């Protein structure tokens, strides 16, 4: 239980509620993983309505991210901007979401036109909301329009009731409003598990990278814990629509709410997988004790941990933020799954943490995380190797609803600009924003959340900051484009890609921007050298993005796929694919839906949606080769300092890989030559990947490809014709 110095008054919050729209519906059992209806809320007009899900929609878009993108496509037009009223936040679960027998099956996917990238974005998140929404009768929810006043959307899946409620008194910040929703809508303490809340804090109001917090009530800690749909500024969009919370109440969770076709098969697959986790996890990733934070020291070992704005890949201070520290700080010995039955339990938590700064200074709270990305971004990338800083900043980012990845990567960029005198104390308002300055970084976070001073400026995100610094402070645009770690407007997540061309593509060719959820190929490429040719890399950049897209269609978490592997996985033909887990997914999908797909049909389901999303990008004015351009720092050393830090490696590559003798050449000459080779290699990679994906040389899907996928919908063809197809 969190302990607050100034506890909120629930009665006062409730007294100020005013119902402004209401909608009643019949509660029906699901059928084979689908509820076959979606919910539409128009916030501007206070209207609530229901839509049917057709068989064609299921055939073409499967569910989850597919449904979201289809609904979003229908809602917007080519001129829609992120703040246009017709833009939507769409949240869906997916047909496999909500089963209790297999780990990682409680995910929601959120889509919308992004404030950060201006293009469609998808973000994947745990917590109870998605499955509860589906079990309440809705495969997806669209939030369209802009409310005049702050509102809560309340979905009561027990009674078949939806309300839009004027909500002036709730706190905005997520750790409080998520708890307040439990206090208000649960019958009693035992019932708090039935309440799932989506919210975004004040940081989302004042930055472009606001995230969404999805709650899950932790009955042991008695805390409404939070998981984040972090990427793409969807929290910013949420608050722009003046939504304080979307709440779903569902109290009848059981072993088969999905009304599956073959429960026995799911039980068998689930039971075996739980056992595999029991036997292998301690020996492999130790997810159950340290979550994804186990990666910190591994990344450092392989020179992959972004340090000082991705200049370097390791640091002697890394042991201060690596997994033994987190193992001690995280509470051990209780289930930490963010959905029922997730025995991987990576949602670790620091309990009894007394806040040292900000508006909640002195309060005792449970802090979710940090996960690897947060520890790497705050610790190494900003050069603040202090676990207490990381936990404090993690708490505030979450409750303010600021994406920790975008915040960390943007702050690292700011710190490098500060150290290069591009910005100075006069511009920052007197703050010293050098690498390693944790106190000032926290100050920036609090200012950002309040929408004040230079903190608010940082919340613009790297792409807008680059323009600002060039326009206002005469900064060198080329240098900023080289060191500003964003692609398509989205800040990079926390992996060094300089030595892995395939991973440069993993980021640069990802549809929504620089996130690693489409492909993580560094070990395959750089460490194990399994994909040496452009064609090999292109194959990997086809298969893995398609395979991983499937998780988003189904409502699944990626982690149980390969963060534990069967003991004999290395002996299989394609260990990187983890074949037995792929088969598990095929078996479960078939057992839920009653269909008979195989692993090839699985990829086909993804390809349909993936290509549709690329066309959606094109429709909004993005998505050609130009959009896939990456900052040079992700491909090689920008500065002499970087070159010299790995001089032997680079010199050797110039000689051995490109047959260019570096002897007697200046650092500048060598650095420029390396750049020429590496930038050329990236373009060749794009050529190979576009070809493999069935796109033209400008990265545009061909009409034939869309026909082959049966996705040659009239609107799609119209867009493609504009791009010369």
List contacts with another protein (CB under 8 A). Answer: 1, 3, 100-101, 193, 219-222, 253-256, 263-264, 267, 270-278, 331-335, 337, 340-343, 351-352, 364
Which lies closer to another protein via its Cβ, residue 264 or residue 571? 264
State the nearest-atom distance from the C-beta of 328 to another protein, in Å.
12
Which lies closer to another protein via its Cβ, residue 344 or residue 519? 344
Which lies closer to another protein via its Cβ, residue 122 or residue 565? 565
How many Cβ atoms are within 10 Å of 621's Cβ, its own excluded?
12
3-state secondary structure 426-469: HHHCCCCCCCCCHHHHHHHHHHHHHCCHHHHHHCCCHHHHHHHH
Which lies closer to another protein via its Cβ, residue 158 or residue 679? 158
State the nearest-atom distance from the C-beta of 356 to another protein, in Å.
17
Cis peptide before 629 (omega within 30 of 0): no
- CA distance linking residue 214 with residue 226, whole number of Å: 5
E strand or H helix at 52, and its extent?
Answer: strand 47-52
Question: In the 8-state DSSP scheme, what is residue 506?
Answer: H
State the nearest-atom distance from the C-beta of 280 to another protein, in Å.
11
Which lies closer to another protein via its Cβ, residue 237 or residue 269? 269
Q: Which two tokens stand for residue 708?
A: 């082959």
Check: CB of residue 564 under 8 Å from CB of residue 284. Answer: yes
Interhelix angle 579-593/263-280, nearest 10 degrees = 150
- CA distance linking residue 520 with residue 158, whole number of Å: 41
Check: CB of residue 525 under 8 Å from CB of residue 152. Answer: no
Check: CB of residue 507 under 8 Å from CB of residue 635. Answer: no
- CA distance linking residue 694 with residue 699, whole number of Å: 9
DSSP β-bridge partners for residue 144: 42, 88
- CA distance linking residue 442 with residue 455, whole number of Å: 10
Which lies closer to another protein via its Cβ, residue 270 or residue 358? 270
State the nearest-atom distance from the C-beta of 213 to another protein, in Å.
20
DSSP β-bridge partners for residue 49: 40
Which lies closer to another protein via its Cβ, residue 331 or residue 572? 331
Question: In the 8-state DSSP scheme, what is residue 627?
Answer: G
Tokens 């700064």, located at residue: 357
State the nearest-atom distance from the C-beta of 542 to another protein, in Å.
34
State the nearest-atom distance from the C-beta of 136 to another protein, in Å.
17
State the nearest-atom distance from the C-beta of 394 to another protein, in Å.
18
Contacts of 590 (CB under 8 A, 6+ apart): 261, 262, 265, 596, 597
Which lies closer to another protein via its Cβ, residue 331 or residue 530? 331
Check: CB of residue 682 under 8 Å from CB of residue 505. Answer: yes
State the nearest-atom distance from the C-beta of 271 to another protein, in Å.
5
State the nearest-atom distance from the C-beta of 281 to another protein, in Å.
10
Which lies closer to another protein via its Cβ, residue 277 or residue 720? 277
679 burial type by CB count under 10 A (0-12 exposed, 13-18 middle, 19+ buried): middle
Which lies closer to another protein via its Cβ, residue 255 or residue 658? 255
State the nearest-atom distance from the C-beta of 559 to another protein, in Å.
16
């Amino acid at each position: 239980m969190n302990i607050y110095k100034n506890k909120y008054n629930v009665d006062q919050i409730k007294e100020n509620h005013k119902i402004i729209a209401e909608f009643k519906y019949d509660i029906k059992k699901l059928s084979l993983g689908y509820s076959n209806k979606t919910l539409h809320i128009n916030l501007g007009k206070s209207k609530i309505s229901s839509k049917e899900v057709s068989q064609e929609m299921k055939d073409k878009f499967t569910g989850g991210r597919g449904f979201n993108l289809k609904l979003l496509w229908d809602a917007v037009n080519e001129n829609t901007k992120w703040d246009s009223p017709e833009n939507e936040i769409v949240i869906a679960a997916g047909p496999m979401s909500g089963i209790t027998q297999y780990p990682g099956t409680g995910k929601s996917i959120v889509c919308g036109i992004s404030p950060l990238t201006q293009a469609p974005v998808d973000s994947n998140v745990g917590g109870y909301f998605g499955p509860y929404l589906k079990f309440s009768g809705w495969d997806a929810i669209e939030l369209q329009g802009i409310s005049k006043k702050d509102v809560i959307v309340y979905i009561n899946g027990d009674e078949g009731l939806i309300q839009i409620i004027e909500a002036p008194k709730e706190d905005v910040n997520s750790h409080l409003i998520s708890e307040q929703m439990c206090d208000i809508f649960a019958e009693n303490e035992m019932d708090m598990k039935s309440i799932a809340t989506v919210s975004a804090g004040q940081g989302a109001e004042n930055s472009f990278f606001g995230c969404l917090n999805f709650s899950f009530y932790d009955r042991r800690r008695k805390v409404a814990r939070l998981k984040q749909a972090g990427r793409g500024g969807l929290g910013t969009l949420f608050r722009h629509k003046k939504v304080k919370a979307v709440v779903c109440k569902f109290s009848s969770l059981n072993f088969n709410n999905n009304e599956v076709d073959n429960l026995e098969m799911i039980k068998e697959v689930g039971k075996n997988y739980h056992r595999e986790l029991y036997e292998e996890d301690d020996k492999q990733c130790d997810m159950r004790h340290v979550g994804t934070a186990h990666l910190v020291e591994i990344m450092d070992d392989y020179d992959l941990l972004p340090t000082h704005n991705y200049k370097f890949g390791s640091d002697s201070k890394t042991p201060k933020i690596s997994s033994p520290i987190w193992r001690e700080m995280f509470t051990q010995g209780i289930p930490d799954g963010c959905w029922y039955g997730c025995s991987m339990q990576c949602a670790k938590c620091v309990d009894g943490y007394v806040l040292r700064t900000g508006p909640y200074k002195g309060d005792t709270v449970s802090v979710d995380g940090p996960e690897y990305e947060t520890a790497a971004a705050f610790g190494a990338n900003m050069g603040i190797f202090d676990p207490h800083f990381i936990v404090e900043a993690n708490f505030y980012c979450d409750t303010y609803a600021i994406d920790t990845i975008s915040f960390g990567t943007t702050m690292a960029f700011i710190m490098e600009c500060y150290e290069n005198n591009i910005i100075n104390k006069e511009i920052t308002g007197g703050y010293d924003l050098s690498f390693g300055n944790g106190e000032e970084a926290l100050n920036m976070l609090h200012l950002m959340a309040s929408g004040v001073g230079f903190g608010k400026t940082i919340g613009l995100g790297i792409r807008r900051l680059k323009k600002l610094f060039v326009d206002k402070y005469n900064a060198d645009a080329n240098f900023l484009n080289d060191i500003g770690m964003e692609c398509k407007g989205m800040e990079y997540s926390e992996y060094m890609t300089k030595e892995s061309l395939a991973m440069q593509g993993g980021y640069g060719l990802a549809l929504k921007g620089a996130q690693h959820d489409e492909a993580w190929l560094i070990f395959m490429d750089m460490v194990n050298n399994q994909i040496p040719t452009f064609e090999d890399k292109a194959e990997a950049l086809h298969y893995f993005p398609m395979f991983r897209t499937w998780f988003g269609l189904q409502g699944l978490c990626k982690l149980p796929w390969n963060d534990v592997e069967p003991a004999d996985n290395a002996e299989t033909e394609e260990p990187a694919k983890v074949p037995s887990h792929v088969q598990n997914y095929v078996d479960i999908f078939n057992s839920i839906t009653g269909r008979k797909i195989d692993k090839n049909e699985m990829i086909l389901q993804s390809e349909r949606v993936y290509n549709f999303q690329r066309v959606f990008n094109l429709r909004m004015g993005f998505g050609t080769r130009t959009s896939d351009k990456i900052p040079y720092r992700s491909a090689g050393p920008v500065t002499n300092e970087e070159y010299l830090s790995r001089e032997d490696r680079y010199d050797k590559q110039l000689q051995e890989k490109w047959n260019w003798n570096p002897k007697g050449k200046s650092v500048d000459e060598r650095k420029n030559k390396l750049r020429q080779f590496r930038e050329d290699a990236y373009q060749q990679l794009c050529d190979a990947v576009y070809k493999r994906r069935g796109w033209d040389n400008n990265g545009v899907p061909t009409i034939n490809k869309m026909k082959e996928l049966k996705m040659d919908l009239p609107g799609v063809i119209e867009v493609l014709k504009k791009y010369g197809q």
